[in-house]
Structure 1
């Protein structure tokens, strides 16, 4: 019997080709292959080989990247093919699900997951010495061979990529960053995630914070560079929105101050005649998330007490629906005709 020979008594029609080449001890036993027969086939020069504890390749050559992925998942998963888990929807462009998968409570994460998502800044699967697998904290397994276990108290919902359950991008990024000491690589990974629309900066920073990675100086530097670049991109989209949707020109990047009085805050755009202020909400939560939100709320309350309408736009909304955001601003400008005049303020360049 070789990897092309159907096993019995249970058919393998529900398996993909790679799943027929990578099987566990329990799966082989379910198909009538005894432990002694498995051991015999895995002797030097034999047709099979043991890949990981309890996981076998039904051919003698080196494993492919796809076989390595399925092998580490079989090693880490709770169940065998007797108890498959439902397929989950694929990410856009990932192809259709391939049916039920034999992996309960295990999913690929870290650099291997990013490679499956198509990150050009992540190493190719064939060059990865270790494949990270996310499992519940209670799993009594050890990292071994090319399988590196990453434990978590609560598993996220996986995505299906090329027939493999994969952790969401932000979780995969956090697990990758935890293992990458190179500041330049970390910066490239984070930048690609945001530039290509995999996630928003605030969501990414929140995940890094929860993973306690923002205490590492090279990660903090990468995050600071990412946030600065993301703000510059958002500002460019804001300028384009005003120009392309025919909004009146505001004064850009100004500070407001009461005449002879206290500082009121900085704004990305201000329309003095209509007393409409606009600010990009680019908050990225860290340990001081509550303080950041309090500062935003304080500024808004203070300006609105003076009769100034405050509009907050997020970079995501500017990217995804600029016309809708232009309508929000235009409505605020038009509504100024029905309001009492705002208190006088000094408008100063930043």
Structure 2
């Protein structure tokens, strides 16, 4: 009589990543192909990817689907793009299709993409960071890999600006990675990086930058400078600044001002600037998007008023 195999189920669970495990690993742990098939047909397990079994039935969480993608890609695979950006804690990340994942593998290996998993072979496979058990690309590589695949310019702006604003990536590090990495799909990313290098830190500020550039009567706008008094005392960090006349431009979003503390901070900043004779003009993102003619007229009028007044005794320093 044939003896039934003894399976170490604790070892099976420990070998799984977010309840996902390769078919080959189950065989190595003593299960037969027929036993695996029976559990799949019974609905206890499910096939979550090519050669990958889900021990929890059909994968329900993003982490389970991403784990299945990494296991399918094989040893040394690194999760990048949108999925990795989310795991780094970024929020301004565009939605992705269910189970979509970009996985990097060494250029010497061969594995084909099988939607929703995209496999990219690279000569520059990054050293992964393990987050929630998943090997993910460093944040600079992750956001640029995501940005290269985005079509909407404002989605690229939002993603890269958040990474910079939250201190997860520097503009210099993004530039270095972009120049050294794959050049496919980088034209829009380069445009956004140029905006970031000018000091722009949000989508509305990018809209504002393009609007100002189209008004020849205005002087150069500096973005997110630090204004200090003559003795070096910090005054404020306006969104935009025209140094020749001492004109500050503020862009106020409803989302920001829905927070009472943020609104109070804005009012205090305005009071400090106006108290030092800085002329302040303010607009909302909606105005920048939908009523550019009015914003243009407001800026020209504010510039003219500021030019007729003595320039305030403040200096503009580079952004922090």
Partner of 2:148: 178
Quote how far apart the aligned CAs of 1:179 are: 1.1
Whether 2:29 is the aligned partner of 1:31: answer: yes
Whether 2:161 is the aligned partner of 1:162: answer: no
Q: How many residues align structurally?
A: 217
Quote how far apart the aligned CAs of 1:240 are: 7.6
SS of residue in 2 equivalent to 1:51: strand
The aligned runs of 1:40-55 (5 Å cut-off) are 40-43=38-41, 45-55=42-52
- Residues 107 and 240 of structure 1: is their aligned pair in 2 closer, same or farther, counting only changes over 3 Å? farther
- Residues 151 and 122 of structure 1: is their aligned pair in 2 closer, same or farther, counting only changes over 3 Å? same
Quote how far apart the aligned CAs of 1:123 are: 3.4
- Residues 180 and 240 of structure 1: is their aligned pair in 2 closer, same or farther, counting only changes over 3 Å? farther
CA contact (8 A) 1:213 1:219 kept: no
Quote the RMSD (CA, aligned, Å): 3.3
Quote how far apart the aligned CAs of 1:129 are: 4.7
Unaligned runs of 5+ in 2: 1-5, 202-221, 235-241, 245-316
Deviation per CA, 1:138-175: give whole Å up to 9, x if none: 12111113221122113222112222111011111221
Q: What TM-score do the two structures reach when normalised by structure 2?
A: 0.59
Partner of 1:83: none
Query: What is the aligned counterpart of 1:106 among 63, 77, 80?
Result: 77
- Residues 176 and 203 of structure 1: is their aligned pair in 2 closer, same or farther, counting only changes over 3 Å? same
- Residues 173 and 54 of structure 1: is their aligned pair in 2 closer, same or farther, counting only changes over 3 Å? same
- Residues 214 and 64 of structure 1: is their aligned pair in 2 closer, same or farther, counting only changes over 3 Å? closer
Partner of 1:144: 114
Deviation per CA, 1:177-196: give whole Å up to 9, x if none: 12111111111111111111
Quote how far apart the aligned CAs of 1:211 are: 2.9
Whole-angstrom CA distance in 2 between matches of 1:129 and 1:75: 13
- Residues 13 and 233 of structure 1: is their aligned pair in 2 closer, same or farther, counting only changes over 3 Å? farther
SS of residue in 2 equivalent to 1:189: helix
Whole-angstrom CA distance in 2 between matches of 1:253 and 1:34: 74
Query: What is the aligned counterpart of 2:225 among 235, 241, 262?
Result: 235
Whole-angstrom CA distance in 1 between matches of 2:10 and 2:142: 35
Quote how far apart the aligned CAs of 1:198 are: 1.1
CA contact (8 A) 1:47 1:58 kept: yes
Q: What TM-score do the two structures reach when normalised by structure 1?
A: 0.54
Whole-angstrom CA distance in 1 between matches of 2:135 and 2:196: 28
The aligned runs of 1:256-295 (5 Å cut-off) are none
Quote how far apart the aligned CAs of 1:39 are: 2.3
Whole-angstrom CA distance in 2 between matches of 1:210 and 1:241: 42
Whole-angstrom CA distance in 1 between matches of 2:18 and 2:61: 13
CA contact (8 A) 2:48 2:59 kept: no
Whether 2:71 is the aligned partner of 1:74: answer: yes
SS of residue in 2 equivalent to 1:220: helix
Whole-angstrom CA distance in 2 between matches of 1:192 and 1:241: 32
Unaligned runs of 5+ in 1: 1-6, 79-104, 246-251, 255-313, 320-350
CA contact (8 A) 1:115 1:123 kept: no
| 178-187 or 138-147, which deviates more | 138-147
- Residues 195 and 64 of structure 1: is their aligned pair in 2 closer, same or farther, counting only changes over 3 Å? same
Whether 2:236 is the aligned partner of 1:244: answer: no
Whole-angstrom CA distance in 2 between matches of 1:30 and 1:131: 27
Partner of 1:123: 94
SS of residue in 2 equivalent to 1:42: helix
Whole-angstrom CA distance in 2 between matches of 1:241 and 1:33: 76
Query: What is the aligned counterpart of 2:194 among 224, 245, 262?
Result: 224
Quote how far apart the aligned CAs of 1:62 are: 4.1
